Amino acid sequence: MAMLHAGGATKEDLEALIGNPSDAFGLMALLMGVGIAFDGLAGYLTARMAGYLEYWHVLAMWGLLTVMQFALSSGGGESDAVSIPSYVVIVGYFGGLIAAFSGAYLFKKGKRGSP
């Protein structure tokens, strides 16, 4: 945001961008990257807490998060709901799934190496 403000963006432009981040590809990519990184961390922590059947626990965690995301993004019938482009949804869900299982794999790989 500071870079946009320094580049000459007005206060109204910044408020519009914050209100609908899908208008700026760079900001949307950053938000997707942070979200996918946290999915990887959640997969690692879920596998660590599970103790056994780590991948199944990660799949259940991802499924619950997906259901929660659908429930929260439904808009509740509001007409001013922010529309999220379909590529963001697809990349977010599949990237998050891959990151979650990668986090679980990193935990299992580290667990095998330790005595």
Collapse the DSSP code of 82 into the 3-class scheme (helix H, G, I; strand E, B; otherwise coil) and give the result: coil
Residue with the larger pLDDT of the pair 7 and 34:
34
What does the alpha-carbon distance between residue 75 and residue 2 come to, in Å, rounded to a whole number?
Answer: 30
Structure tokens at 34: 């942070």
Collapse the DSSP code of 78 into the 3-class scheme (helix H, G, I; strand E, B; otherwise coil) and give the result: coil
Residue with the larger pLDDT of the pair 57 and 80:
57
Q: b/e per residue, 4-15, with b = 16+ CB within 10 A?
A: eeeeeeeeeeee
Of 18, 13, 41, the C-alpha closest to 31 is 18
pLDDT band at 66 (very low <50, low <70, confident <90, very high): confident
Structure tokens at 21: 């981040």
pLDDT single digits (tens) 12-54: 766 766 666 666 777 788 888 998 899 899 889 988 888 788 8
Residue with the larger pLDDT of the pair 57 and 17:
57
How high is the pLDDT of residue 98? Answer: 92
pLDDT single digits (tens) 75-113: 655 555 566 777 888 888 899 899 999 999 998 888 776
Note whether 23 and 17 are within 8 A (CB).
yes
